[in-house]
Amino acid sequence: MTMTTSDGTVVGTTKIVDNGPATQRWNLVIMGDGYTSTRLGQFAADAKSFADTLFATPPFGSLSRAINVYRVDVSSTDSGADDPTACGGPGTTARTYFDAAFCTNGARRLLVVDNTTALTVAGSQVPQWSMAMVIVNSTVYGGSGGSVAVFSLAAGANEIALHEMGHTAFGLADEYEYYLGCGAETGHNRHPAGEPAEPNVTVDADRATNKWRDLVAPGTAMPTTTNADCTTCDPQANPVPAATVGAFEGAHYYHCGAYRPQFACRMRALNNPYCAVCSRRIRQTIQPYLPAVVTRASSVGRLPGHPDVF
């Protein structure tokens, strides 16, 4: 483990969305990496931008009273992130607090930070943190969704963040059917037989046993689509209405043998809504933090037992 906390300073924490005490809410903690001390105003704007996007994105809008958002200002010595030549980057190394780097597993887009450092800072600043997120001050496209959700400031940054938090906070799988790219790799023709643990991908397209079968209409074919050429990604357009839940072949990094619940989903490609299965998992996770509905049966001017109308 590389400790790089000499390359910056934890400046302080601000609660930017307050829906109640941290002990009773789902607490999102947003930190920054690769922001120099003079750029922390930009980080504040970037964090607010993401929070605004989050609450404007279904299903989070209907869950908003359950969610607090905290911004942790962290300054770094240098701007940006490591961007190795091995993945086509310029070979930049940046001295940053969380040691952000592109090019994990040979994929430039896989941007990671030192998770131990990030979780240590989140835990010390907001002990009741529910999810830790790091915004990396680079315009190179990238993100990742391990124990910490990470994203850069490439075009569509907030969309990347919504995808990555699908992994980090809700245990969702990638629904796309390649790893490095369609036609750019071998070993991704057919998914292994084992059933993935994540709720939104499966090897089981049988109507009787599929894990999201309660959302599949009786008239929907199972599987709903199949890939005619397992050596590459399926090029076919969606043959059914967009909202149809079924089993669409091509998911979880494989061209065949794995299925996703809808043709499109944010966990498959950016700028799509979360599919019904992903949305349900998000609601199931956050709903327990919604404030209880208060019934003020004895409010002034009301008879005992007379319900308030909200």
Reported as type and span, the H/E element at residue 240 is none
Nearer to Zn ion, 230 or 265 (CB): 265
Of 31, 63, 121, 275, the one binding Zn ion by CB under 5 A: 275
Measured between alpha carbons, how far is 220 from 237 in angstroms, rounded to an integer? 17
In 3D space, the residue among 199, 165, 162 whose CA is nearest the CA of residue 284 turns out to be: 199
Nearer to Zn ion, 54 or 267 (CB): 267
Candidate ranges 32-40, 157-165, 192-200, 228-236; the one touching Zn ion (CB under 5 A): 192-200
Q: Which of 249-288 are b and which e, b meaning 16 or more Cβ less than 10 Å from the residue's Cβ? A: bbbbbbbbbbbbbbbbbbbbeeebbbbbbbbbbbeebbee
Minimum CB distance to Zn ion, residue 278 (Å) = 3
Nearer to Zn ion, 101 or 201 (CB): 201
Nearer to Zn ion, 20 or 223 (CB): 223
DSSP symbol at 46:
H
Which ranges constitute the DSSP H helices of the chain?
A: 40-55, 115-125, 157-170, 276-286
In 3D space, the residue among 218, 174, 200, 217 whose CA is nearest the CA of residue 276 turns out to be: 200
- Pattern 195-214, Zn ion, x by CB under 5 A: -----x--------------
Verify binding: residue 258, Zn ion, rule CB under 5 A: no
Cα-based torsion angle of the residue sequence 133, 137, 141, 143 in order, rounded to the nearest 10 degrees: -20
Nearer to Zn ion, 269 or 297 (CB): 269
**Site residue total, Zn ion (CB under 5 A):** 5
Structure tokens at 205: 């397209």
Candidate ranges 29-37, 208-216, 229-237, 277-285; the one touching Zn ion (CB under 5 A): 277-285
CB contact at 8 A, 130 and 169: yes
Minimum CB distance to Zn ion, residue 251 (Å) = 9
Nearer to Zn ion, 217 or 300 (CB): 217
Minimum CB distance to Zn ion, residue 226 (Å) = 19
Candidate ranges 26-34, 86-94, 142-150, 261-269; the one touching Zn ion (CB under 5 A): 261-269
Our CA angle for 220, 239, 224, nearest 5°, is 35
Minimum CB distance to Zn ion, residue 257 (Å) = 18
Minimum CB distance to Zn ion, residue 177 (Å) = 13
Greatest C-alpha distance within the chain = 74
Minimum CB distance to Zn ion, residue 276 (Å) = 8
Minimum CB distance to Zn ion, residue 273 (Å) = 9
Candidate ranges 14-22, 148-156, 274-282, 292-300; the one touching Zn ion (CB under 5 A): 274-282
Verify binding: residue 265, Zn ion, rule CB under 5 A: yes
Region 78-137 residues binding Zn ion, contact defined as CB under 5 A: none
Place of tokens 């952000």: 100
Minimum CB distance to Zn ion, residue 93 (Å) = 36
Measured between alpha carbons, how far is 122 from 119 in angstroms, rounded to an integer? 5
- Kindly tell me the sign of the dihedral angle through the C-alpha atoms of 122, 125, 128, 129: negative
- How many residues are present in the chain? 310
Verify binding: residue 278, Zn ion, rule CB under 5 A: yes
Verify cis geometry, omega within 30 degrees of 0, for the bond prior to 223. yes
Verify binding: residue 267, Zn ion, rule CB under 5 A: yes
Minimum CB distance to Zn ion, residue 266 (Å) = 7
Residues near Zn ion (CB under 5 A) are: 200, 265, 267, 275, 278
